[in-house]
Amino acid sequence: MFEVLTHTYNGFKWIVHHILKDESETRQSLQDPGIFLSGALAGGFARGGVLVIDRGGLKGATQAVGRRTLQLGILMMFYISPASHMLPDLEDTPFIKMATTFLVAACAGFHMRFICNPISRVMDESLRTGMPWHQVMRMLYNKTILQFWYVGPNFFANAFYYGTLLTVFEGLRRFSERNNFPLPKDGYPLQAITASSTEDHSQVGFSSTFFSNTFHLQYSSYIYMRTAATNFFIGGVSAAVASTFCYPYSAHRYLQTVIHDSAICRGLGSTLAKEVPMMAIFFGTFSLLQPILVPHHGIRCGFGY
């Protein structure tokens, strides 16, 4: 009994410590706006790519794309930067790395919802009443400031979903890198280094340095394209796993299904039909934009620390 209490206390202490550490790292995320921009562009493109499935829902295509643009931009900004500081040097402890990845991603999802829920609340109320958004804000504020978060998506349900999504994504990405598509050191293959050092470049107009740099540049482009294609596929699989696993815990789905008709997975098919292609497009596009907008994150495009 004493050992159980000790392990419980140590586990709770570890979780609190890492959450507080993530909070301190999150404040530094604002110093790297390129992550937000690449995440926002990828999110808007991904949501636009699946409009053919639901035409944007009841809120319309414009609002659907706009909301996802902001949400996924904030999510990745609050995930990539803390992950780059908290996840390195944890390869020797896979469980700790998995748990840390989940906590960082869950905190990012929580922060995203905390920021986006008031915006969504104002937009929903403006759409429902036909009032301008500034009048809606004044009306909600006059009631109580908590009205901005009323009837919005549940914080913890979304944190759980995004924590699961990015944990599965990182796990599959690492497995793929180690077994199927290994990334050579510094992004260059052994063949490229050998070729650039042994090839005869004594012809007029060519230099060994120029040839080597050109070869490396071409290989780097290939690596980025392969990384984006891999992340596209893994992103879809991760969305399928996370959506299936977390679906019963979604607050709104829970109220709509369990309370009224006791079918906790009713509607899961339509959710997967939208989420899987959307997140596949998102991760693939994000991986293409990162080398352009935030090149210092390297060939893993901000993942895989």
How far, in Å, CA of 277 to CA of 45, rounded? 12
Higher-confidence position of 92 and 237 = 237
What are 238's two structure tokens? 């991760």
* pLDDT for the residue 201: 38
Asked if residue 304 belongs to a domain, the reply is no
For the ranges 28-32, 94-98, 175-179, 274-278, the one whose mean pLDDT is highest? 274-278
**pTM for the model:** 0.77
> Is position 186 within any domain?
yes
According to DSSP, residue 31 is labeled: G
Tens of pLDDT along 137-167? 888 888 877 777 776 677 888 899 999 999 9
Burial class (CB in 10 A: 0-12, 13-18, 19+), 186: exposed
Q: How far apart are the first and last CA of the chain?
A: 37
Residue 252 to residue 266: CA distance in whole angstroms:
12
Q: Could you report the per-residue pLDDT of 69-85, keeping only the tens digit for each?
A: 999 999 999 998 888 88
Average pLDDT over residues 280-287: 94
Q: What percent of the chain has pLDDT over 90?
A: 25
Whether 267 is in a domain gets the answer: yes
Where is 240: in which H helix or E strand? Answer: helix 208-246
Asked if residue 213 is part of any domain, the answer here is yes
Query: What average pLDDT does the segment 17-41 reach?
Result: 76
Q: Give the per-residue pLDDT at 22.
A: 65
Burial of 168 (0-12, 13-18, 19+ CB in 10 A): buried
Expressed as residue numbers, the domain containing 163 is: 2-297
User: Which position has the higher pLDDT, 273 or 15?
Assistant: 273
Q: Is position 114 within any domain? A: yes
Q: Can you spell out the DSSP letters for 177-218?
A: HHHTSPPPGGG--HHHHHHHHHS---STT--HHHHHHHHHHH
Identify the residue with better confidence: 227 or 236.
236
- Counting the structural domains of the chain, the total is 1
Q: Tell me if 251 is assigned to some domain.
A: yes
Q: Is residue 207 part of a domain?
A: yes
Q: Is residue 133 part of a domain?
A: yes
Share of the chain above pLDDT 70, in %: 70
Give the pLDDT of residue 155.
80
pLDDT per residue over 183-233, tens digit each? 655 444 434 333 333 444 333 343 434 334 443 444 467 778 888 899 999
